[in-house]
Amino acid sequence: MIALLPVALLVGALIGAVGVGGVLLIPAIHVLTGLSLQESMATALFSFIFTGLAGTALFQRRGSIDWAVTVPLCIGGALAAFPGALAGARLNGQQLGALLAALIVGAGVYTLRAGTAGRLQPFADRPGARRLALLGIGAATGFGSGLTGVGGPALSVPMMMLAGFPPLATIGASQVVQILASVSGSGGNLLNGSIDFRLGALLSVVEVAGVWIGVKVAHAVDQRTLRRGVGALCIAVGLGMLGRTLWPLMR
């Protein structure tokens, strides 16, 4: 527990600074507390309700949330997270571990390579098509969040940036969709009885403090340097988790 609290603070700071960071909390909970992978995912997803609330308040205070982009994203996320959580409960630990590890590595690679996206305004002259695209991204974000417990930003930020949405609007929208996807996914996990509420409440307090720090750091530190560090960390954690998951099979 003592070792887990600094990890939670770091995760909150990364969510606030670059939108990618929640993927690191699940393996930390799993390794440091002895909870099963499903319980670790469910507990982490529950805590992301509160990081989303904090991130939304801080970004809205700075006028950094584009609600025309955010609303359809949130609708898709809220609808898909609940069935994602139910689907995750039906996978075994090795399947979930391999999926989560691949997702963490992918988030790291995206973070290292980010920088060229966001130059285009997708569907600028087709608002209906843009809403449908955002609904689809939101649905993929919600289902993936419920399935793996990683929260919204780790999924929505890469997809929106690669689709050409502006970085600031992307990270701001991801804070809001994190709330709805986490609430919906936690509803599914509640039916499975897999949330450790005591641990989740403690982690939430520490993560919210981290989000506040992360938003401040994002405005003081060079984003390129910050992204490189986050990307390298995600890749290292993901590869380590993938090896830990596949080692019994290789033996």
- Taking the C-alpha atoms of residue 85 and residue 249, their distance in angstroms, rounded to an integer, is 26
Neighbours of 176 (CB within 10 A): 25
- Taking the C-alpha atoms of residue 126 and residue 128, their distance in angstroms, rounded to an integer, is 6
The pLDDT value given to residue 116: 47
The pLDDT value given to residue 219: 67
pLDDT in tens, 133-190: 999 999 988 888 888 777 778 788 878 877 777 777 888 898 899 898 889 889 888 8
Instruction: Report which residue type is found at 166.
Output: P
pLDDT exceeding 70 applies to what percent of the chain?
86
pLDDT in tens, 24-52: 898 899 889 989 888 998 999 999 999 99
Residue span of the structural domain in which 153 resides: 4-250
- One-letter-per-residue 3-state SS of the chain: CCCHHHHHHHHHHHHHHHCCCHHHHHHHHHHHHCCCHHHHHHHHHHHHHHHHHHHHHHHHHCCCCCHHHHHHHHHHHHHHHHHHHHHHCCCCHHHHHHHHHHHHHHHHHHHHHCCCCCCCCCCCCCHHHHHHHHHHHHHHHHHHHHHHCCCCHHHHHHHHHHHCCCHHHHHHHHHHHHHHHHHHHHHHHHHHCCCCHHHHHHHHHHHHHHHHHHHHHHCCCCHHHHHHHHHHHHHHHHHHHHHHHHHHHHC
Neighbours of 172 (CB within 10 A): 24
The answer to whether residue 124 scores a pLDDT higher than 90 is no
CA–CA distance from 91 to each of 13, 66, 147 (Å)?
Answer: 30, 36, 9
Domains in the chain: how many in total?
1
- Nearest partner of 47 among 176, 201, 175, 172, judged by Cα: 201
234 contacts 110 by C-beta, under 8 angstroms: no
The answer to whether residue 119 scores a pLDDT higher than 50 is no
| Mean residue pLDDT across the chain | 82
